[in-house]
Structures are given as structure tokens and as C-alpha cells.
């Protein structure tokens, strides 16, 4: 083998190792962005469902179906008076909704947790005082 | 007269010069390729940072901080990276490497306050440094925020993101 060939191979390998590093980082970056997009979609979907149920008026109901995972990761959706929080363990995503009160089947819950792969029914109801609220309960 | 096994003096000189030139070229190529790769990694990191800022998906600690002080940042925004440039700030004997300072230019018409822009800028810079450290596999040499990030001949810091 000639010296030129060895040197050219060395330069090629150095450049190639760098390109592999870049490709690996870009792949990680795409994975991370994909995960964030999925989390954002879930947060917006739940918030949008709450707003749809509220704007539909008393008695309106709809079903929201939760994704089995976020890019293969487990997650929880936590709803309280301030908004919808998608909790992926180490990362979080938040969205707001315009509805006066959201509660669970007992009508007293202030924090509701939605789990992956479950279906939830959101119902718009009104109490004796005429106050509107949304009830979220698991359904089949 | 036997001419077998003899080569000309010109051929010998050429054969001696070419490897030297190649060696020099290889050295220059390695240096410039390292910086080119670092800038490609920086662009990749900036894009990732801008995307994650735009989607408003944050790690626990950042989320908790923003919940208290920068609630606007919890909602999606439209961060765009306009450009990235670097400045060679010379050899640093402490690190025994050349210092490169990277500055990103970004825009987001939805962010109004200086504090919000600073927070977003810090996240973009974090992803720039992280991407460089990841590309050169020098994560172990840096601290938790990858400041500074290292490659073989250079170390990298980030200047405040300039918002346009």
C-alpha cells in the first residue's frame, strides 16, 4: 500500500467518524422532537376536548381516547384548575383550557389523572345553582 | 551496462515530497473538518433547542421554574433560528485548546419580555453545547450543562442569543 493511500484513508476515516457523530446526534434530536410533538398533541387534544365539551352546553358529552404511549414511553395526563399537564416522568408539557371547573365522577375531585390506552367520557353538567362544570370519567 | 534496479533522482524527490505535502494537507483537513463538524453540530443543536422551545416541552426543573416566573413559556411559541456564527478567541493554556465562541441569532414575535427571551436563549445555547459534546463524544469532560463543550482541538462556549 502506498503512503498516499494510507493518508487518504486516514483523512477519510476522520471525516467519516465526525459524520457518524453528527448523524447520531441528529437522530437523537429527531427522536426527542418527535416525543415532544406527541406530548404537545396529547396536551392540546385533551384541552381541546374539554373546551368542546364546555362549548357544547349542558348535557353535551364526548369521548377522548388516550394514546398507548408517547414514542414508547409511559405518561400521565393531569388535569386541574390551571390546565392540562402531560407528565412523561422527566419532561412536562402544559396546555390551558377555558372551562370553569373540571371534576371526576364523585364531583369533588380537583385533580384528575388520565392514563394511557384508556377512554374517558367528558360530560358537561350543571348543578342546582346553575354553575356549569365538566365531569371526566373512564369509560369502556 | 546493467540498468536494472535504478530509479531517477527526480522520481525519488517526488516520492519524498508527496507524502510530506499529504501529511500537511491531512493536518489542515483534520483541523478545518473538526470546526466544520462542530458548527454542523451547533446548527443541529440550535434547531433542536428552537423546536423544543416552540413546543414548550421542558425538563422538570425548568418546567417548575417557568411555572412560577415565566408562565408565558409554558405555552407554544414560534422560535426560529436565523443563523449561527462563531468567533475564534485564541488558544487557552488552561484547557490547552483553542476557544471558539458560538452565537445564535433567533427570532420569535410571540415573545415580548426580555426575561422570556433570555430563558429561551439559554435553552437554545444548552442544546448547542450538548450537541457538540455528543458529536465529539466528550460529554464526560463537561459539566451537567456542557459549558464548555469540547472537541479534540477546540473548546466551545456560547454567547447570549441575539434576538432579532
ipTM score here?
Answer: 0.80
Residue segments in chain A with a per-residue pLDDT below the cut of 70? 1
pLDDT at A127: 86
Cα angle, residue A34 at apex, residues A29 and A40 outer, rounded to 5°: 125
Cα angle, residue B133 at apex, residues B128 and B134 outer, rounded to 5°: 95
Q: Which of B52, B60, B76 sits opposite A33 (nearest CB)?
A: B52
- The answer to whether residue A7 neighbours chain B at the CB level (below 8 Å) is yes
Question: How many angstroms away from the CA of A51 is the closest CA of chain B?
Answer: 17
Mutation pick from B45, B57, B58, B139 vs chain A, by most beta carbons of A within 10 Å, is B57
Q: Do A91 and B19 touch (CB under 8 A)?
A: no
pLDDT at A9: 83
B window 85-124, beta carbon within 8 A of A: none
Q: For cell 410533538, what's the residue?
A: A37
pLDDT at B3: 60
pLDDT at A40: 95
pLDDT at A124: 93
Question: How many angstroms away from the CA of A112 is the closest CA of chain B?
Answer: 19
Mutation pick from A81, A92, A95 vs chain B, by most beta carbons of B within 10 Å, is A92
pLDDT tens-place string over residues B17-55: 887 887 787 777 777 788 998 999 999 999 999 999 999
Give, to the nearest 10 degrees, the angle between helix A3-55 and helix B114-135. Answer: 140
Q: Do A21 and B26 touch (CB under 8 A)?
A: no
pLDDT at A69: 94
Residue A86, strand partner residues: A77, A93
B window 4-43, beta carbon within 8 A of A: 18-19, 22-23, 25-26, 29-30, 33-34, 37, 40-41
| Beta pairing, strands B57-59 & B80-92 | unpaired
Of all residues in chain B, the one with the smallest CA distance to A89 is B60
For residue A98, what are the CA distances in angstroms to A51, A92, A105?
Answer: 6, 20, 20
Distance of alpha carbon A62 from alpha carbon A48, whole angstroms: 11
pLDDT tens-place string over residues A95-108: 999 888 899 988 88
- The answer to whether residue A80 neighbours chain B at the CB level (below 8 Å) is no
Residue segments in chain B with a per-residue pLDDT below the cut of 50? none
Q: For cell 443541529, what's the residue?
A: B44
Question: How many angstroms away from the CA of B143 is the closest CA of chain A?
Answer: 18
Question: How many angstroms away from the CA of B41 is the closest CA of chain A?
Answer: 6
Q: Do A4 and B18 touch (CB under 8 A)?
A: yes
Q: Is B56 helix (H, G, I), strand (E, B) or coil?
A: coil
**Closest C-alpha among B17, B79, B75 to residue B49:** B79
Q: Which of A3, A37, A90 sits opposite B19 (nearest CB)?
A: A3
pTM given for the model: 0.83
pLDDT at A1: 63
Amino acid at each position: 500500500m502506498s503512503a498516499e493511500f494510507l493518508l487518504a484513508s486516514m483523512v477519510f476515516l476522520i471525516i467519516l467518524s465526525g459524520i457518524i457523530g453528527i448523524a447520531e446526534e441528529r437522530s437523537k434530536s429527531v427522536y426527542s422532537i418527535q416525543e415532544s410533538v406527541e406530548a404537545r398533541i396529547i396536551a392540546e387534544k385533551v384541552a381541546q376536548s374539554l373546551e368542546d365539551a364546555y362549548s357544547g352546553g349542558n348535557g353535551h358529552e364526548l369521548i377522548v381516547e388516550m394514546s398507548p404511549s408517547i414514542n414508547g414511553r409511559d405518561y400521565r395526563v393531569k388535569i386541574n384548575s390551571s390546565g392540562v399537564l402531560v407528565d412523561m416522568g422527566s419532561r412536562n408539557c402544559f396546555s390551558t383550557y377555558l372551562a370553569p371547573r373540571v371534576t371526576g365522577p364523585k364531583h369533588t375531585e380537583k385533580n384528575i389523572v388520565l392514563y394511557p390506552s384508556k377512554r374517558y367520557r367528558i360530560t358537561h353538567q350543571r348543578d342546582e345553582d346553575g354553575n356549569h362544570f365538566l365531569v371526566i370519567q373512564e369509560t369502556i | 551496462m546493467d540498468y536494472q534496479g535504478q530509479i531517477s533522482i527526480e522520481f525519488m524527490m517526488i516520492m519524498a515530497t508527496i507524502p510530506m505535502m499529504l501529511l500537511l494537507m491531512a493536518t489542515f483537513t483534520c483541523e478545518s473538518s473538526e470546526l466544520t463538524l462542530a458548527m454542523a453540530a451547533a446548527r443541529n443543536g440550535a434547531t433542536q433547542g428552537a423546536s423544543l422551545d416552540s413546543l414548550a416541552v421542558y425538563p422538570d426543573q425548568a418546567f417548575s421554574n417557568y411555572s412560577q416566573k415565566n408562565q408565558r413559556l409554558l405555552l407554544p411559541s414560534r422560535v426560529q433560528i436565523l443563523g449561527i456564527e462563531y468567533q475564534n478567541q485564541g488558544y487557552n493554556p488552561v484547557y490547552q485548546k483553542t476557544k471558539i465562541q458560538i452565537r445564535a441569532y433567533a427570532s420569535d414575535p410571540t415573545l415580548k419580555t426580555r426575561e422570556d427571551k433570555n430563558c429561551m436563549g439559554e435553552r437554545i445555547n444548552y442544546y448547542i453545547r450538548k450537541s457538540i459534546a455528543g458529536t465529539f463524544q466528550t460529554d464526560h469532560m463537561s459539566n451537567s450543562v456542557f459549558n464548555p463543550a469540547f472537541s479534540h482541538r477546540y473548546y466551545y462556549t456560547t454567547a447570549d442569543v441575539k434576538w432579532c
